[in-house]
Each structure stands twice: as structure tokens, then as C-alpha cells.
């Protein structure tokens, strides 16, 4: 995602759209937490009027996030007109499209027991299929596509915070370290992935099995082995080499994924230690344990 080249005082507008159940409303709440004035499910014809109101606010509203989705039944051309109008405004504007795979969407609808807007008289999978077809052109118009398949509610809120929080004057690349378990797949948004399954596994120690990499006993167990003391500084050295070069090339965000089998012990311990070491070097880190306690 490119940072705006405009002055930091410029108004910001984010249009949130995408698949039903993909996390748009979790994102909506995350934008509220970032100080955005948020409006849900607004017809596209009213978005320009809302923007005019923000201008008339005299600077009281300088960040705006609006959710529009398939429930409105509006045509692709109406979305196109809105997107074109946004591009002509003297604002920093972005269109963010959220999606997830059918398996995850089905689980989310099962948990919430909500009715899909396009599946009132058909199956849920048919509703997803119809919505993907209807939204395909809108997806192609988006500045950013966020796949939430592997993201928890916490992880998605963290992602929004990383990518949209104000960072005026920081000039720093936003680094996230994510621990995960390979049994649930590699995080889709990873830039760098390290496999630490070669390290001794506390899972097979009866007194450690029910603990996690956050527990002192697990940390002490892993620190007994030379491999642990070797891999962590090597990854740290690589990051300290890469991060300033990524920043120099205009990269704003980097996600480092550390994986073990279940995401409970080794990856958590290594991620914690890396985050602590980098913090001591003055590098800000967003630490996420994606699969912790999911076994």
C-alpha cells in the first residue's frame, strides 16, 4: 500500500466494501478506534453528500470511513461513478475490499446464525457464488484487497491499526511478527516466513505440553539447546539488514511469520524473543500470536 505523497494534514476517506461475512464491520470498528468518523451501509449516492458535510465541519472531521456492500443492490456502474468522484476530490482516498474463502465464510455465518443477503431463497454457498460474481468488478477497482481467511477478529483489527494509523513523521516501516501453526496454514499476508519446527518440541515434554511459549518453563527448556540460541540472532541480523532497505524502496509494511507445528510453543517463544530484541534496538514491533490456545 502506498503512502500518500500529500501533506499529512490532508483529509482521509476510506471506502470499505467486500464480501458479506469477510470482516467489514470488524474493520469498521477498528477505523472508529483510529479516530475515523464511520458510517455503515450508506447508499453510494449519499457518500458525496457525506463528504460535503465533512468539509463543512471546519476540520472537525478529517478522517472518514464508509461501508458499502451488496445489501444495497446497487449496480457496478454506480460504484464506478462513486470511485471516480473520490479520485477527483482533494483528499487521500482509498477503496479497501475484504474477502475470505467459502469455508471460513460458512463457519462465520454458522456462528452468527445470520442470513446471507443473497441467500434468502437459496443455499449459503449459492449466495457466496452470486455475491462473488456481483462484486468481482468492484474488487478489481479496489486499491487494496484484504483476505481475512486466516485472520481472527483481533488479527484483523491489528492489521487495520498497522496499515491506517497515523504515522506522520515516523518514516518507519511497520513490522509485524506473527507466530502460527503450520497445521492451520501460513498467514496469507506474510512477507517473510521462518520455519522453526527443527527446534526441540516442548509438546512432547509432559510437564510442558499444556503450557505455551509465553511460559517461563517453556522458554527455559528451549534455551537449553544451541539451535535456539543460534536461530534467533540470525533472524534478527537478517531483519536489521532488510528493514532499512525495504523502507528505502518505499515498502510501508512487513509481516514476519514464525511457524511451528501447532503455534503454541516454539513459534511463540521465538516470536517473543525476536520482538524483545528488536524493541531494544528501537524497532517498533506489532506482536501477534495467531493460533495461541486454538488447539
In a domain, 5, yes or no: no
Domain boundary residue among 164, 197, 217? 164
Same domain flag for 146 and 179: no
Q: How many CB atoms lie within 10 A of CB 61?
A: 16
Same domain flag for 157 and 250: no
Same domain flag for 19 and 106: yes
| 251: pLDDT strictly greater than 80 | no
Domain boundary residue among 130, 164, 198? 164
Q: Determine the pLDDT at residue 162.
A: 75
R_g (Cα) of the chain, nearest Å: 22
The domain of 186 spans 174-289
What CATH code is carried by the domain that includes residue 38? 3.40.50.300
- CA 40/CA 16 separation, integer angstroms: 9
Same domain flag for 189 and 150: no
Same domain flag for 156 and 277: no
- Taken in order 205, 208, 209, 215, the sign of the CA dihedral is negative
In a domain, 3, yes or no: no
Q: Determine the pLDDT at residue 129.
A: 85
Q: Determine the pLDDT at residue 139.
A: 87
Q: Determine the pLDDT at residue 166.
A: 65
pTM over 0.75: no
Domain boundary residue among 126, 144, 164? 164
Same domain flag for 30 and 135: yes
| 205: pLDDT strictly greater than 90 | yes
In a domain, 136, yes or no: yes
| 271: pLDDT strictly greater than 90 | yes
Q: Determine the pLDDT at residue 35.
A: 86
Pairing of strands 174-181, 253-260: parallel
Same domain flag for 132 and 218: no
Separation of CA 18 from chain center: 14
Q: Determine the pLDDT at residue 221.
A: 97
Same domain flag for 138 and 44: yes
| 168: pLDDT strictly greater than 50 | no
The answer for residues whose C-beta is within 8 angstroms of residue 8's C-beta and 6 or more apart is 166, 168, 169
Amino acid at each position: 500500500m502506498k503512502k500518500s505523497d500529500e501533506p499529512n494534514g490532508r483529509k482521509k476517506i476510506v471506502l470499505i466494501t467486500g464480501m458479506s461475512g469477510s470482516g467489514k464491520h470488524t474493520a469498521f470498528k477498528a477505523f472508529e478506534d483510529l479516530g475515523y468518523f464511520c458510517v455503515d451501509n450508506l447508499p453510494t449516492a449519499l457518500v458525496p453528500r457525506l463528504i460535503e458535510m465533512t468539509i463543512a465541519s471546519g476540520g472537525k472531521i478529517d478522517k472518514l470511513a464508509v461501508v458499502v456492500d451488496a445489501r444495497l443492490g446497487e449496480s457496478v456502474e454506480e460504484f464506478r461513478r462513486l470511485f471516480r468522484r473520490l479520485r477527483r476530490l482533494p483528499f487521500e482516498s482509498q477503496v479497501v475490499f475484504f474477502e475470505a474463502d467459502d469455508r471460513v465464510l460458512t463457519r462465520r455465518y454458522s456462528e452468527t446464525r445470520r442470513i446471507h443477503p443473497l441467500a434468502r431463497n437459496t443455499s449459503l454457498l449459492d449466495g457466496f457464488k452470486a455475491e462473488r460474481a456481483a462484486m468481482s468488478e468492484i474488487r478489481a477497482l479496489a486499491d487494496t484487497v484484504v483476505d481475512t481467511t486466516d485472520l481472527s477478529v483481533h488479527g484483523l483489527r491489528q492489521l487495520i491499526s498497522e496499515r491506517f494509523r497515523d504515522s506522520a513523521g515516523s518514516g518507519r516501516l511497520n513490522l509485524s511478527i506473527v507466530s502460527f501453526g503450520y497445521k492451520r496454514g501460513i498467514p496469507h499476508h506474510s512477507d517473510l516466513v521462518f520455519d522453526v519446527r527443527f527446534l526441540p518440541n516442548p509438546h512432547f515434554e509432559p510437564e510442558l505440553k499444556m503450557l505455551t511459549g509465553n511460559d517461563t518453563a517453556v522458554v527455559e527448556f528451549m534455551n537449553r539447546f544451541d539451535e535456539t540460541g543460534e536461530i534467533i540472532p540470525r533472524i534478527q541480523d537478517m531483519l536489521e539488514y532488510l528493514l532499512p532497505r525495504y523502507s528505502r524502496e518505499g515498502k510501508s509494511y512487513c509481516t514476519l511469520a514464525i511457524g511451528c507445528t501447532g503455534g503454541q510453543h516454539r513459534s511463540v517463544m521465538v516470536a517473543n524473543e525476536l520482538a524483545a530484541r528488536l524493541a531494544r534496538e528501537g524497532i517498533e514491533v506489532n506482536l501477534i500470536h495467531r493460533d495461541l490456545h486454538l488447539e
